Amino acid sequence: MKTLLPLLVLLSCNVLANDLPEHIAVCADCHGDKGISSESDVPTIAGASDVFISDSLFAYREGERIAVESKYRHGDTSRPATDMQKIAKELSEEQIADIAGYFSQQKFIAAKQSFDPGLAAQGEKIHTIKCAKCHEDGGSSADDDAGILAGQWTPYMKQAFKLYRSGERVMIDKMKVKMEQLDDQEVEALLHYYASQQ
């Protein structure tokens, strides 16, 4: 019986993972188990609001949001690389609601990563002045429907900032104004501040 117990536990975990509908399971193949990413260029989506997740998926589906090609990180990693526009185009409204509902109910876990405390302190001041109106609680609130910035992977955030500042990623007017006011040093400080919130 003792030798069977670990096997039974392993099998039960696999059954639970396989119980997820395919349109949710495929998200975890890049974003990680329950949406907690272990890959620094892929954002954690666990704990984000259902509004933020569904709005993001609809933006990808309609081609309004740029998508970066990525390989699968889990599951069958031999599948060809894909991107969020291709994935979202295959989703129905009901599936998008399912995905948003599932991942919004998961707990966000901050990425463990290095940061510069001095830059993080500068970034906190910049965030308070320029970002806190929409990204509440230091960027950690899901309730503002603006995505969770605090504890998000820095390489992903760096890429997102680059796309926003180049105009390749669409943003609302008030965010566009704020982005245009940030210089490179301020962006770097903000990245360290968000990374510091572990």
Give the residue ranges of the annotated binding site for heme c.
27, 30-31, 84, 131, 134-135, 175
Number of neighbours of residue 111 by Cβ within 10 angstroms: 22
Alpha helices, H only, 38-182: 50-61, 84-89, 93-104, 117-130, 136-139, 154-166, 173-181
> What is the spatial distance between Cα 144 and Cα 9, in angstroms, rounded to a whole number?
39
Structure token pair of residue 47:
């704990």
Sign, Cα dihedral of 69, 170, 32, 193: positive
Which residues sit in the known binding site? 27, 30-31, 84, 131, 134-135, 175
Sort residue 63 into left (φ over 0), alpha (ψ -120 to 50) or beta.
Answer: left
Element (H, E) at 14: helix 4-18
14-18: long-range contacts at Cβ-Cβ below 8 A with a sequence spacing of 24 or more?
none
> What is the spatial distance between Cα 41 and Cα 43, in angstroms, rounded to a whole number?
7
